[in-house]
Every structure is written in C-alpha cells, then in structure tokens.
C-alpha cells in the first residue's frame, strides 16, 4: 500500500509513462471525452473499473456505489445515466457486480444496519423477488453468489426502466445494457448475457416511458 506522500510520487511516474511515447497525451485528454461505455459498479476497492477492463483514460464513464445499485430516487446515479445517454451518447451501459460483495452480504443478514437500511433495502427487495430460487440453494456461499448475479440483473432492469434509455433506444437502437460479474478469485469478468431486447419488451406494459 503506498504511503500518502508516495501517491504523489506515483502520479509523477504515471505522467511520465503516459507522455513518453505521446508528448501531447494530456493536451488531447483535456480537449473532450467521448466514451462508448458507461460503467456502473461497486465502490469495493478491489474492483477497479478501468483496470479490469484494460481501458484507457477517456474510454469509460464511471459511477460506483455500494453494491452497484440503480435506484430511481438516487439523484446521483440517475444524473450519471441521463448525462451519459443524452450528452455523451454512450453505446453500452454496463452494470458490474462482484462475488464477495460486502453490500450484498450485509443485505443477507436480517439485522438493523442503521443508515445503511434504506440502501440495503434495494438488495433485500431483490432477494424477495427471487426468494423461491434463492431459498432452494442450500449452500450459503452459492446462494450469496446467486444473489450477486440476480442483483446485477435487477439493476440492469432498473436502467432499462429509465425514460432516457428507452427513448434513445427507440430513436437509434442504442444504448444496450449489459450485466457483468467480476470474480475476485480469478480476476475474470463474466458476462451474464442479459437479454436486453426481451427485458425491454417485457417491461413495456408497465414501464413504457417512450411517449412524452
């Protein structure tokens, strides 16, 4: 772990590494951003968005919170989605969860977590929606892993429920929404192959917001 002072030394080394082959790297970076990807992931320090994707500065618009939740009254995540879809015009929206997620683990304990209660409620709601499937899994570790995956799936649905995603998709056929899980044990990214088209069609009856 670098010391506080070491971080600034690391920064100098990073600048040197970026400019060694491209003297104008930062001038170009400062001009504009046109990322193709919006990444919504967990705040967990072990799940580093750009690193695990091998992405460079300017390529991914990132939002992180505890347990990668997309809550419709969270002005923060909703503003991020709105800006990314409407103004940056990203082509892909990724919700990335991870196994061993502390937020998901906490939500599995039926105890008072104080200020975290309303946040964790979103994950407890995912559990309630998928109670039958989850309760059939006897192994607690496997049940925990499955809740991580189902949470990603439900947060993808929450993204698809937003007016801005539906309206731009109707006009341009973009953006599409993807659900991923990062496996901390292997470093592997798993694509859950969320069926974006089918979800969009299925939720229309109740959540269609394409008419103004």
Which residues contact Zn ion by CB under 5 A? 42, 44, 101, 103
Active site residue 183: no
From the candidates 22, 46, 128, 188, give the one annotated as an active-site residue. 46
Active site residue 87: no
Active site residue 156: no
Query: In terms of CB distance, is 106 or 199 closer to Zn ion?
Result: 106
From the candidates 22, 23, 36, 44, give the one annotated as an active-site residue. 44
Active site residue 178: no
Query: In terms of CB distance, is 96 or 194 closer to Zn ion?
Result: 96
Minimum distance from CB of 204 to Zn ion (Å)?
31
Tell the burial category of 101 from Cβ atoms under 10 Å away from its Cβ (0-12, 13-18, 19+). buried
Residues found in the chain: 212
Token couple for 194: 């969320």
Query: In terms of CB distance, is 151 or 162 closer to Zn ion?
Result: 151
65 with 39: CB under 8 angstroms? no
Active site residue 125: no
From the candidates 63, 96, 98, 178, give the one annotated as an active-site residue. 98
From the candidates 96, 101, 145, 168, give the one annotated as an active-site residue. 101
Minimum distance from CB of 42 to Zn ion (Å)?
3
Minimum distance from CB of 27 to Zn ion (Å)?
36
Query: In terms of CB distance, is 63 or 168 closer to Zn ion?
Result: 63
Minimum distance from CB of 68 to Zn ion (Å)?
7
Q: Which residues are catalytic?
A: 42, 44, 46, 98, 101
């Amino acid at each position: 772990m670098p010391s506080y002072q070491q971080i600034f030394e690391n920064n100098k080394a990073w600048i040197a590494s970026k400019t060694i082959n491209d003297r104008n790297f930062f001038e170009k970076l400062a001009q504009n951003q046109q990322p193709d990807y919006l990444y919504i992931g967990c705040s967990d320090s072990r799940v580093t968005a750009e690193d695990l994707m091998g992405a460079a500065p300017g390529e991914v618009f990132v939002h992180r919170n505890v347990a990668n939740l997309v809550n419709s009254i969270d002005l923060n995540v909703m503003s991020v989605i709105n800006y990314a879809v409407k103004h940056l015009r990203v082509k892909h929206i990724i919700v990335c969860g991870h196994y061993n997620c502390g937020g998901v683990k906490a939500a599995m304990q039926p105890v008072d977590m104080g200020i975290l209660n309303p946040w964790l409620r979103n994950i407890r709601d995912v559990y309630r929606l998928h109670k039958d499937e989850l309760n059939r899994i006897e192994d607690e570790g496997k049940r925990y892993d499955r809740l991580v995956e189902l949470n990603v799936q439900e947060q993808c649905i929450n993204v698809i429920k937003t007016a801005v995603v539906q309206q731009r998709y109707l006009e341009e056929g973009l953006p599409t929404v993807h659900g991923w899980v990062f496996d901390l044990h292997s470093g592997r990214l798993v694509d859950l192959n969320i069926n974006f088209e089918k979800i969009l069609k299925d939720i229309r009856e109740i959540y269609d917001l394409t008419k103004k």
